[in-house]
Structure 1
Amino acid sequence: MNKLLLGLALGTSLILTSCAQKKNVNAQNDPWLRADSIRKLIVAPTFKKQDFNIRNYGAGDDSTQLVTQAFAKAIKACNESGGGRVIVPKGTFLTGAIHLKSNVNLHLEDGAKIKFSRNPDDFLPVVFTRWEGMELMNYSPLIYAYEQENIAITGNGVLDGNASNEYWWPWKAKAEYGWKQGMKDQRADNQLLKEQNKNRVDPRKRIYGKGHYLRPAFVQPYLCKNVLIADVKIINAPMWNLNPVLCENVTVSKVKIVTHGPNNDGCDPESCKNVLIQDCYFDTGDDCIAIKSGRNEDGREIGRPAENHIIESCEMKDGHGGVVIGSEISGGAKNIFAQNLRMDSPELDRVLRIKTSSLRGGVIEDIYMRNIEVGTYKEAAVRCNMFYEEAGDFMPTIRNVVVENMNVKKGGKYGVLVNAYEQSPVENLKLINCKIDGVEIPVKVDYTKDMVFKNVVINGKEVEAVNSK
């Protein structure tokens, strides 16, 4: 009997091992099976069924009066009671920085608008944050959370950053955003922060804020777990809109972002793991979705790649790129999946954009995109660029990029555009079943290795891949 049981156990073990091996082989052959496994790891947080209305904590009907303390009190009460929803009812509420705490869902009811102050002092004291991939103490993001779990922003209301050519945007130092000669701007602070990053100054001693001009991000959960942002509309951002940093298990669903200011990226998950971006609308002044992992020394020292991201069923209008990886990508990126996307705008520069440099370094690999419908774009459908910023000593790597079933009705200047280093060519770039009409130059590449085109038709003619020798 014991021998029989032992034999059955061994047989079962061999069967399970064989099934696991087959599953791994299948995942290698079909990376979208890997995406299915990643999807199971991303679970939106749930909240206790109790509400805390900001009106009960001092928020009145006067939309010109700050109600920052009402938000803070309601969030504190919700958190201390085990969590639930902080309700923003119909109406417009003016506030400074909002800091979320664990187990709190900031919920905007229909007709609710949170309008943020234009006074930079209302985003003090400074907090530990990131600015273009570099750590520092700076103005608080408009909505911020640090080392919290189970947090959300939900509902059909509006988040209005209240930025314009008179407020926040002129700090960019560009005339089209209201800057005029003699105005204070971000250039000196930006340069100093880069030097502090390079010289490895303690990030908590990189103190900016009052008297400085680095615009805050709109929504930034930092080192948080279990994050949900759903349904809200976001307008008039000072800078990047959604910028989760070093977070795990992030869901962004049915969010509408319409804002055309400087660096108004739509969603920038930075050094995050297990991220789902679905059913969103982007009409932005910069990249629609930009996946990041830190700039230069900060990114390399922390060493946290962007990994396990799924982007699906989104619509992109204006923007520098639809799906973008970089440029603050020194920690690398891997396992990025994008599918069932719609893009259409003469002001959309690129469909898939990978941008890095030898100042950044990092490995960008295993990028998969499929089922993309494009009306028109401006520059390139697929763009890989290793010369986005000045040169350095950290050779970047781009490999294993697959684009399938992309249909472009009217392309821009290029179909595929690649600029790489001879010593680090773009490897294993594959286009499969792609049709691009109306481009000036079908393919322009310099250094590639094992690039493959299968059934790629540009301007009505099948095009072959071009590899450097």
Structure 2
Amino acid sequence: MEVYKALNKNLVFLIVACIVFFMSCGGKTLEKTIDNPWERMSLIEESVPQVRFLDKNFNIKDFGAVADGVTFNSVAFEKAIKFCANNGGGKVIVPSGKFLTGPIHLESNVNLHLEEGAEIFFSTNPKDYPVVHTSFEGTELMNYSPLIYAKNKTNVAITGKGTLNGQANNSNWWAWSGGKSYGWQKGVPSQNDPENREVLVDMAEKGVPVAERVFGEGRYLRPNFIEFFECNTVLIKDVKIINAPFWILHPIKSNNIIIDGVTINSHGPNNDGCDPEYSQNIIIKNCVFNTGDDCIAIKSGRDADGRRVAIPSKNIIVQNCKMIDGHGGVVIGSEISAGVNNVFVENCVMDSPNLDRAIRIKTNSKRGGTIEHVYVRNLEVGTVKECVLKLNMFYNVYGSQTGNFIPVIRNVSLENVKVKKAGKYGVWAEGYKESPVENITLNNVVIEKADSIYLLKNIKNFNFINTYINDKKVESIKN
């Protein structure tokens, strides 16, 4: 009995000591968060766990795969992945060659590894894609499986020097967008037909359960390319991705994701390069984005569905990336109803006459959301078509986009940014009278050429520090 008493006393002492220690550390961390956001970024980086796999290799050819670009290899991929997972995990090797397949569903502890010279071609037949729990433009539904899909998995990766080819073009997936420049013709079904996207959005507004939002065949809502849904500890490294049907990298409701050294080249409709949604602790580094839409677009759900889920995207780090074509380099929105905070962008190069903006935040009073604590430094910007920084609370692309959810945009900082040509404006910011865009800082920003210095409406506390546009020093605005 005396031994147990002593143990209990020691346990109580240990618990109290731990509480004091973590309270002390928490206080210091909070101070760092307030005083220096870049120190906070470093803490986030250090906290993201690395994937780890057993040293076992499982070659898909050993499971019946044929590298002729014609044989359908879905069964071989499925067998190899399941066998790998059931034996503790490791690498599923895709050797050099051309492999045709339907969707690939990953398991925990599996690294899908494409050796140099390997190319996976994904079927363009919608019938090959089963209906799964996924998302379309920020609204959850049951729809075509993403080309590569993982749900509720941990410790999973896609790596290697090979290529993932979605084979999308103007004669298959892209035409579903309803855009004439992507192969759609009048009379051909598309996502824009009233019974398709509009019905999905209406279901979400009415609170229809996700399990009852069944789309798929005949509804023309394109699948995402790579989607990690409710996953933890994920790596995507070195692969090249081309010709995507829709959004390309889509972590949704996922945590601890590292995307490193990936090259994306896909100029289809809505071909966003990477869309973290309802996700946290995401590192995107050393990547090249050449896209038909936003290079990186951080999301958190659309309208009622975003407010239902209510998981903000946060702790997103973008480093050492190159943005070529796209609607924006690093974008937040427009599906942003649950909010976004703690975004860090550094050491990136953005340059293309087909890149519209460098940094963009887009929302409206139907989306709502609070977007705050966005930090950008050390950008080299060649040419952007419209402006360097755009902060817009009146984003409107699908008709009327007004409602009763006034958004908030605040605490955005750009420092050490050099721009050769900015298009219409250096800075474009529009807020509401009751919710101005506020606490924006441009420090040591030089824009050599822009048609106009800025367009600012309903803003508060715009700080221009050592900032020059068209060789003119820009003065701060405190109203």
TM-score range (shorter-chain normalised) is over 0.9
**Which residue of 389, 402, 410 corresponds with 1:399?**
410
Q: Give the conservation status (yes or no) of the 8 Å contact 1:137–1:207.
A: yes
- For 1:120 and 1:40, locate their aligned partners in 2 and report how far apart those are by CA, in whole Å: 41
Q: Secondary structure at the match of 1:56?
A: helix
Distance (whole Å) between structure 1 residues aligned to residue 77 and residue 64 of structure 2:
9
1:403 maps to a residue whose letter is L
The residue aligned with 1:7 is none
SS in 2 for 1:182: coil
Match of 1:131 in 2: 136
Deviation digits for residues 323-365 of structure 1 (CA, Å, limit 9, x no counterpart)? 0000001110011000000011011000100001110111101
Is the 1:278–1:313 contact (alpha carbons within 8 Å) kept by the matching residues of 2? yes
Distance 2:379 2:200 in 1: 38
Question: Do residues 147 (structure 1) and 157 (structure 2) align?
Answer: no
Cα separation, 1, equivalents of 2:174 and 2:280: 31
Q: Counterpart in 1 of 2:161? A: 156
Structure 1, unaligned runs of 5 or more = 1-12
1:100 aligns with 2:100: no
Q: Tell me, what secondary structure is at the counterpart of 1:55?
A: helix
**Aligned pair 1:173/2:184, yes or no?**
no
Q: Residue in 2 aligned with 1:50?
A: 56
Q: Distance in 2 between matches of 1:70 and 1:248?
A: 29
Change (3 A) 1:18 1:265: closer
Q: Do the aligned partners of residues 158 and 19 (structure 1) sit closer, same or farther apart at CA in structure 2, a change above 3 Å counting?
A: closer
SS of residue paired to 1:322: strand
Alignment-mate amino acid for residue 415 of structure 2: E
Report the secondary structure of 1:320's partner residue: strand
Matching of residue 443 in structure 1 with residue 454 in structure 2 = yes
What is the match of residue 419 of structure 2?
A: 408
Aligned equivalent of 2:65, options 51, 59, 63:
59
Please say if 1:421 is aligned against 2:421.
Answer: no
Q: 1 CA distance for matches of 2:120 and 2:430? A: 43
- CA displacement 1:205-263 (0-9 Å, x = unmatched): 01111111000000001000011100000000000000010001000000000000000
- The question of whether the paired residues in 1 share the 8 Å contact of 2:32 and 2:40 is answered with no
Could you tell me how far apart the structure 1 residues matched to 2:144 and 2:80 are? 22
For the 8 Å contact 1:151–1:227, the answer to whether it is kept is: yes
Kept after mapping to 1: 8 A contact 2:160/2:238: yes
CA gap of 1:217–1:454, structure 2 versus 1, over 3 A, is same
SS at match of 1:191: helix
1:339 and 1:57, CA in 2 relative to 1: closer, same or farther beyond 3 A? same
Distance, in Å, in 2 between the alignment partners of 1:332 and 1:19 is 27
> What TM-score do you get using the length of structure 1 for normalisation?
0.95
Partner-residue secondary structure (3-state), 1:64: strand
Mapping of residues 319-334 of structure 1, within 5 Å: 319-334=326-341
Distance in 1 (alpha carbons) for counterparts of 2:26 and 2:149: 42
Aligned residue for 2:14?
Answer: none
Deviation track 1:407-446 (CA, whole Å, cap 9, x = no partner) reads 0012211100011111110110110000001100111100
Distance in 2, Cα, partners of 1:82 & 1:26: 40
SS at match of 1:244: strand
SS in 2 for 1:192: helix
Superposed displacement of residue 27, structure 1: 3.2
Deviates more, 1:36-45 or 1:331-340: 36-45
- Does residue 276 of structure 1 match 2:283? yes
Q: Is the 8 A contact 1:445 1:466 kept in 2?
A: no
The CA deviation at 1:394 is: 0.7
Matched, 1:182 2:193: no
Shift of 1:21: 4.6
Amino acid at match of 1:404: E
Distance 1:220 1:16, change over 3 A: closer
- Does the CA-based 8 Å contact 2:250-2:277 persist in structure 1? yes
Aligned mates of 1:202, 1:23 — CA distance in 2 = 40
Quote the offset at 1:155 in angstroms.
0.2
The Cα offsets for residues 287-336 of structure 1, whole Å up to 9 and x where unpaired, read as 00000011111111111000111100000000000000000011100110
Corresponding residue of 1:349: 356
Deviation of 1:137 after TM superposition, in Å, equals 0.3
Paired residue for 1:84? 90
The structural deviation recorded for 1:47 is 0.6
- Shift in Å, 1:65: 1.7
Shift of 1:162: 0.3
Q: Which amino acid aligns with 1:208?
A: F
- Asked if structure 2 preserves the Cα contact closer than 8 Å seen for 1:421 and 1:447, the reply is yes
Per the TM alignment, residue 14 of structure 1 is displaced from its structure 2 partner at its CA by 10
Pair 1:252 & 2:263 matched? no
Aligned partner of 2:212 in structure 1 is 205
Question: How far is the alpha carbon of 1:62 from its aligned partner?
Answer: 2.6
Give the C-alpha shift of residue 63 in structure 1: 1.2
In structure 2, C-alpha distance between the alignment counterparts of 1:211 and 1:306, rounded to whole Å = 32
User: In 2, Cα distance between the equivalents of 1:59 and 1:369?
Assistant: 46
What is the rounded CA distance, in whole Å, between the counterparts of 1:130 and 1:156 in structure 2? 28
Matches of 2:366 and 2:203, distance apart in 1: 15
Alpha carbons of structure 1 residues 26 and 247: separation in structure 2 relative to 1, 3 Å = closer
Over the aligned positions, Cα root-mean-square deviation in angstroms equals: 1.8
The answer to whether the Cα contact below 8 Å between 1:136 and 1:206 also exists between their aligned partners in 2 is: yes
CA distance in 2, matches of 1:251, 1:234: 16
**Letter in structure 2 aligned against 1:29:** D
Amino acid at match of 1:408: V
In structure 2, the partner of 1:34 is 40
Once residues 436 and 74 of structure 2 are traced to their aligned partners in structure 1, the CA distance between those partners, rounded to angstroms, is 52
